[in-house]
Amino acid sequence: MGIRGIIREELKKLIEADYYDNFPDFFDPLYNPQVGAYPPVGSHSYGPGTLVREDYPSSWDVEEFKKLSSFNARIKYCEEHLQRISSGSARIAYKIDDQKVLKLAKNKKGLAQNNVEITQSGYGDIDGVVAQVFEYDEDNLWLEMELARKVKKSDFKRITGFNFDDYAAAINNVGVEHSRRGYKMQIDGDLFQEMWEDEFTSEMFNYIVGYEVPTGDLMRLSTYGVVKRDWGDSIVIIDYGLDKDVRSSHYS
Ligand SMILES: Nc1ncnc2c1ncn2[C@@H]1O[C@H](COP(=O)(O)OP(=O)(O)O)[C@@H](O)[C@H]1O
Ligand SMILES: [Mg+2]
């Protein structure tokens, strides 16, 4: 193959790898060199001082996506244009960029759970324990949530100062005390007291009591994620859509 052939082959590879789709176009009037990305879909510039990146791949067409009228069509569109992170019983999470995931409802349970997360993420008294939601669909078809990393027990200990197993026992006991159902687990009284005085764990306990949150899922590490907050790494609930009402109307 001559030099032209080689160049042609290399260019083809780059195009197939979507290299050019992802490469910022410096000549585009909407390109913001400070932020290094295009403004959020639907707006024409970043507000002053914003550092939010909205990095849907350029093949993503929000208008096209919004036109789709079935769960299957939306899933197909996301599978084609975004990278799937993981799927639950009700929703599929896709990576939007390094900071956000798209949680797409797969079914009616997904709509109900998206609705709870959209609503509760706006509550100031629990914003330290639940993952943030950004843009969302009015009909609960999808929401954008802060991207969280998987939590290991060692992360939990490093970030909160508590062992996950002790924390899970405490969560269980708060739930039992509040609902007067189930059995308490063994936990040191002083440690439990310490958790009631700690900012993170007490907010979690108050969340359970105040919003009547079923505690089963909260005792599993996979319900949580690590996110970056102003002060550093933080643990938050990434799957909090299954509240009491959703559980009783869709899961029992
Ligand atoms: N904010 C997030 N960051 C990273 N991954 C997430 C996030 N939210 C959910 N996921 C992943 O997507 C999967 C499905 O989301 P989940 O909230 O559990 O949906 P479901 O309601 O179907 O259980 C989760 O198991 C998790 O791995
Ligand atoms: Mg789940």
**Residue-wise pLDDT tens digits, 65-98:** 999 999 999 999 999 999 999 999 999 999 999 9
Q: How far is CA 67 from CA 75, 77, 211, 243, in A?
A: 13, 11, 35, 30
Q: SS3 for 226?
A: strand
Confidence of residue 243 (pLDDT cuts 50, 70, 90): confident
Q: Would you say the CB of residue 221 lies under 6 angstroms from ligand 1?
A: no
Domain extents in the chain = 1-52, 62-149, 150-250
- Closest atom, ligand 1, to C-alpha of 91: 22
The response to whether residue 147 sits with its C-beta less than 6 Å from ligand 1 reads: yes
CATH number of 62-149: 3.30.200.20
pLDDT by residue (tens digit) across 136-195?
Answer: 999 999 999 999 999 999 999 999 999 999 999 999 999 999 999 999 999 999 999 999
Measure 209 CA to ligand 1 centroid, in angstroms: 24
